[in-house]
């Protein structure tokens, strides 16, 4: 059963821990964005949620409780690094590649996690498109 | 051959990732792109033994009504995946716009018709002259970044237009299609015209494009907790018209050079407009509201930027103006800690006919003009984003000079929002600034 309440919604940064769990259970949630910027594996769904199938949802940084399934979409771990860039993390929570890797390649920006500065330095992120000046 | 320049694309939240998504205007067939589901799926496609643009399907022969539709070849040994136009059909054989693989290849899979979805691959398939129609059928949730390398051209830009219920209905406000991007950037290359979209994002570049493009009536909100990210980002020679940008800790609009920003509303951001290194940008009829810096042209190497008929309100610094030779004219700078400020003396600045009011300091390191005023702009409801002015700044005193020769009077209100005079039409002909 398609969940009309939570399908095709923009729920970026929102938490549903206090929501009615029956509104979730045993439904199909399609095409919604639940992305959480600040913490990987964020607990945002109500306790006891089960039987939910997430189809083509953005579940980045969202913890999917056992008993629920994900079909398509994304469920990556993302964290901003010292270069000011959002990186996708591996299983060891170390950065593997920028979220926007293709754009970084185009902008001639770093895509090698070994070259992430040891200290915070956002200046390397922004390069003028016209003449390549950094600022 | 390539896809026709006359291809019109359909992108829906309820479409499918493999939906072919396009139809060539004027083609003889039936447009199967304007539907959620694909029209047909084939898994037995064969490439002709001698002509590599011809394909057949024994299970579902091609028909006359397929002509003009795109077919998305998704897999098959000897097939080149991609979207192709069916340019003609005869006796069940479809002729495509270009070579689809190696002659005599069999077992290809392809999808004909059906709306596509808001994906990088969809936009990469477009060619100069194409138009993509983005439906507001539901929220478009991005699950991967978009960074399109494909260009339009000067004479044939690629157009992306949001619509609410009918193509061309030019939606405003919440009627626009909403793109929930998450951490994913949406970045186009050169010569794209993007219109009538609303985007939420946390990416470093929320909605951007490189050079010679245009954004019209787009709204982008970047809620990232990280600094220096942009809601809207443009390269050089761009036109930004009636757009709204908000970046909680970043830049409502980040600019390249030599472009025009007209009628935009940039608010609740660190920098409303970030044009730090820009040259020869024109900012006309824009509002910056409640930003750390309303317009940031803070690098002394920038030059030739123009700020005309703008309203800068409730900013720590209305305009950070270190540009070597800026023009700053007919603006309202109100309720700012520092009105217009440069890091060092800018002798080449031309400032005049501006209204400074309620600022702690009006100017620093730049010189005010002889025709400046200091009147209460009487905003209708600035706290809620309504910057229409009262009679104080009505153009009764002809705040801009009459045209040379004195033959033509000029009555231009100061600031971004122009008053409607008695007898004027009740309806605004351009979208209003806030909530459009």
Q: What is the count of structural domains for chain A?
A: 1
Q: Is residue A82 part of a domain?
A: no
Tokens of B263: 């009628």
Which domain-ending residue is among B112, B141, B169? B112
User: Model pTM greater than 0.80?
Assistant: yes
Q: Looking at the predicted structure, is the pLDDT value of residue A134 above 60?
A: no
* A65 occurs within a structural domain: yes
The pLDDT of residue A129? 44
Nearest residue of B to residue A82 by CA position?
A: B226
The percentage of residues in chain B with a pLDDT greater than 90, rounded to a whole number, is 87
Q: Do A8 and B139 touch (CB under 8 A)?
A: yes
Q: Using CB atoms, pick whichever of B184, B204, B225 lies closest to residue A85.
A: B204
Average pLDDT over residues B293-314: 95
More confident position, B408 or B391: B391
In a domain, A31, yes or no: yes
Q: How far apart are CA B84 and CA A54, in angstroms?
A: 32
pLDDT-wise least confident of A29-33, B269-273, B321-325 = B321-325
- Measured over the CA atoms of residue A33, residue B122, residue B172 and residue B386, the dihedral's sign is positive
Q: Let me know: does B300 contact B277? Beta carbons within 8 Å.
A: no
The residue count of chain B comes to: 436
User: Are residues A8 and B143, on separate chains, in Cβ contact within 8 Å?
Assistant: no
In DSSP terms, which residues pair with A61 in a beta bridge? none
Determine the distance in angstroms separating the CA of B140 from the nearest CA of chain A, rounded to an integer.
Answer: 7
Q: Is residue B296 part of a domain?
A: yes
Cβ separation of A58 and B225 shorter than 8 Å?
Answer: no
Contacts of A78 in chain B (CB under 8 A): 183
Phi-psi region of B122 (alpha: psi -120 to 50; beta: other; left: phi over 0): alpha
Residue A125 has pLDDT above 80, yes or no: no
Q: Enumerate residues 6+ apart whose C-beta is below 8 A from B75.
A: B81, B108, B109
pLDDT band with cut points at 50, 70 and 90 for residue A122:
low
Q: Provide the percentage of residues in chain B whose pLDDT is more than 70.
A: 95
Test mutation, B180, B192, B231, B251, chain A, max A CBs within 10 A = B180
- The structure tokens listed for B168 are 């061309």
The answer to whether the Cβ–Cβ distance between B226 and A80 falls below 8 Å is: yes
- Domain span holding position A54: 1-76
Query: For A53, phi and psi rounded to 5 degrees?
Result: -110, 115
Rounded to the nearest angstrom, the minimum Cα separation between A33 and chain B is: 6
- Domain assignment present for B29: yes
pLDDT of A35 > 60? The answer is yes
pLDDT, tens digit (0-9, with 9 covering 90-100), for A63-84: 999 999 999 999 999 999 999 9
Q: Do A86 and B204 touch (CB under 8 A)?
A: yes
Q: How far is B204 from chain A (nearest CA, A)?
A: 7
Residues of B (231-260) whose Cβ lies below 8 Å from A: 235-236, 256-257
Instruction: Collapse the DSSP code of B382 into the 3-class scheme (helix H, G, I; strand E, B; otherwise coil) and give the result.
Output: helix
Distance CA B342, CA B321 (A): 5
Q: Is B186 part of a structural domain of the chain? A: no
Find, among B153, B141, B146, B217, the residue nearest to B181 by Cα: B141
Provide the pLDDT confidence category of residue A41 given band limits of 50, 70 and 90: very high
Q: Which domain holds residue B76?
A: 7-112
**B356 found inside a domain:** yes
3-state secondary structure of A59: coil
Distance CA(A54)–CA(A29), nearest Å, equals: 5
Express each pLDDT in B25-42 by its tens digit. 999 999 999 999 999 999
ipTM: 0.92
Asked which of B112, B142, B160 is the last residue of a domain, the reply is B112
User: Would you call B360 exposed, middle or buried from its count of C-beta atoms within 10 A (0-12, 13-18, 19+)?
Assistant: exposed
Nearest CA in chain B to A78: B183
Residue A53: inside a domain? yes
**Are B227 and B353 within one domain?**
yes
Instruction: Tell me, yes or no, whether B96 and B233 share the same domain.
Output: no
> Is B277's CB within 8 Å of A33's CB?
no
Q: Examine residue B254 and state whether it is found in any structural domain, yes or no.
A: yes
Rounded to an integer, the average pLDDT of B387-416 is 76
Assess if residue A127 is contained within a domain. Answer: no
Q: Mind listing the pLDDT tens digit for each residue in B206-264?
A: 999 999 999 999 999 999 999 999 999 999 999 999 999 999 999 999 999 999 999 99
Residues of chain A found within 8 Å of residue B13, distances taken between Cβ atoms? 8, 31
pLDDT band at B400 (very low <50, low <70, confident <90, very high): low
A114 falls within a domain: no
Shared domain check, B375 and B243: yes
What CA–CA distance (Å, rounded) separates B304 from B133? 37
Decide if pLDDT at B44 tops 70. Answer: yes
Cβ B236–A130 below 8 Å, yes or no? yes
Closest B-chain CA to A58 = B143
**CA angle, residues A6, A9, A14, in degrees to nearest 5:** 85
d(CA B272, CA B260): 15
Q: Looking at the 3D structure of chain B, how many domains does it have?
A: 2
Instruction: Specify the pairing of strand B198-201 against strand B205-209.
Output: unpaired
Helix (H) or strand (E) holding B201: strand B198-201
pLDDT category of residue B47 using cuts at 50, 70 and 90: very high
Q: Is the pLDDT of residue B137 over 50?
A: yes
Stretch B90-116: mean pLDDT: 98
Q: What is the DSSP letter of A106?
A: H
Quick one: B237 and B379 in the same domain? yes
Residue B423 lies in a domain: no
Query: Given an 8 Å threshold on Cβ–Cβ distance, is A129 in contact with B236?
Result: yes
Please state the rounded mean pLDDT for residues B77-104. 98
How far apart (Å, rounded) are the C-alpha atoms in residues A10 and B140?
A: 9
Contact yes or no for B256 and A12 at CB 8 A: no
Which of B384, B401, B430 delimits the end of a domain? B384
pLDDT at B118: 98
Q: For residue range B186-212, list pLDDT tens digits in order.
A: 999 999 999 999 999 999 999 999 999
Q: Supply the pLDDT for residue B323.
A: 87
B305 at A interface, C-beta within 8 A: no
Q: Give the separation between CA B94 and CA B82, rounded to whole angstroms.
A: 16
CATH label of the domain that carries residue B373? 2.160.20.10
Residue B54 lies in a domain: yes
Residue of B nearest to A73 (CA): B143
CA-to-CA distance for B252 and B406, rounded, in angstroms? 40
Q: Is the pLDDT of residue A100 over 50?
A: yes
Q: Has residue B1 got a pLDDT over 90?
A: no
Torsion sign (Cα): B121, B127, B128, B133: negative
Domain membership of residue B350 (yes or no) is yes
DSSP H or E segment with residue B307: strand B306-308
- The pLDDT of residue B398 is 52
CA–CA distance from B129 to each of A27, B57, B193, B405 (Å)? 42, 31, 11, 45
Report the half-sphere exposure of B436 (CA within 13 A, side-chain side): 23
User: Residue A91: pLDDT above 80?
Assistant: yes
Chain centre to alpha carbon of residue B5: 21
């Amino acid at each position: 059963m398609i969940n009309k309440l939570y399908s095709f919604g923009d729920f970026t940064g929102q938490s549903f821990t206090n929501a009615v769990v029956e509104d979730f259970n045993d439904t199909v949630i399609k095409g919604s964005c639940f992305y959480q910027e600040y913490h990987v594996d964020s607990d945002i769904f109500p306790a006891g949620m089960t039987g939910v199938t997430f189809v083509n949802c953005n579940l980045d940084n969202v913890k999917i409780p056992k008993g629920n399934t994900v079909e398509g979409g994304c469920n990556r771990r993302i964290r901003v690094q010292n270069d000011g860039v959002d990186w996708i993390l591996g299983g060891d929570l170390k950065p593997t590649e920028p979220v926007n890797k293709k754009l970084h390649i185009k902008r001639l920006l770093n895509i090698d996690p070994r070259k992430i500065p040891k200290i915070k330095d956002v200046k390397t992120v922004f390069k003028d498109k016209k003449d390549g000046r950094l600022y | 051959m390539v896809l026709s320049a006359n291809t019109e694309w359909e992108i829906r939240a309820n479409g499918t990732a493999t939906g072919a998504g396009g139809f060539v205007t004027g083609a003889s067939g039936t447009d199967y792109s304007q539907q959620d589901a694909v029209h047909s799926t084939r898994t037995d496609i064969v490439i002709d033994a001698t002509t590599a643009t011809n394909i057949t399907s024994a299970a579902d022969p091609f028909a006359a009504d397929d002509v003009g539709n795109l077919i998305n070849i998704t897999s098959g040994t000897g097939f080149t995946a991609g979207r192709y136009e069916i340019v003609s059909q005869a006796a069940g054989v479809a002729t495509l716009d270009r070579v689809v693989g190696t002659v005599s290849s069999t077992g290809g899979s392809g999808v004909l018709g059906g709306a596509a979805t808001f994906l990088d691959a969809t936009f990469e398939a477009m060619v100069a002259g194409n138009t993509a129609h983005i439906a507001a059928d539901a929220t478009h949730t991005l699950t991967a970044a978009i960074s399109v390398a494909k260009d339009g051209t000067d004479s044939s830009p690629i157009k992306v237009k949001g619509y609410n219920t009918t193509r061309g209905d030019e939606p405003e406000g919440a009627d626009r299609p909403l793109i929930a991007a998450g951490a994913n950037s949406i970045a186009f290359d050169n010569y794209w015209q993007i219109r009538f979209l609303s985007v939420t994002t946390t990416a470093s570049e929320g909605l951007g494009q490189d050079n010679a493009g245009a954004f019209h009536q787009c709204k982008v909100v970047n809620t990232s907790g990280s600094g220096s990210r942009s809601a809207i980002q443009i390269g050089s020679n761009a036109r930004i018209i009636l757009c709204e940008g908000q970046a909680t800790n970043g830049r409502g609009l980040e600019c390249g050079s030599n472009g025009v920003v007209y009628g935009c509303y940039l608010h609740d951001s660190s920098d409303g407009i970030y044009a730090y290194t820009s040259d020869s940008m024109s900012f006309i009829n824009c509002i910056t509201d409640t930003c750390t810096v309303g317009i940031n042209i803070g690098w002394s190497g920038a030059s030739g930027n123009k700020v005309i008929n703008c309203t800068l309100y409730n900013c720590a610094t209305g305009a950070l103006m270190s540009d070597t030779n800026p023009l700053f004219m007919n603006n309202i700078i109100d309720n700012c800690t520092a009105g217009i400020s440069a890091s060092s003396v800018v002798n080449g600045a031309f400032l005049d006919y501006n209204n400074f009011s309620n600022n702690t300091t009006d100017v620093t390191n730049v010189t005010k003009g002889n025709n400046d005023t200091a009147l209460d702009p009487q905003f209708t409801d600035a706290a809620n984003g309504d910057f229409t002015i009262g009679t104080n700044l009505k153009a009764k005193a002809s705040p801009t000079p009459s045209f040379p020769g004195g033959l033509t009077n000029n009555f231009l209100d100061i600031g971004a929002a122009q008053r409607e005079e008695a007898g004027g039409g009740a309806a605004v002909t351009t979208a209003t600034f806030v909530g459009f």
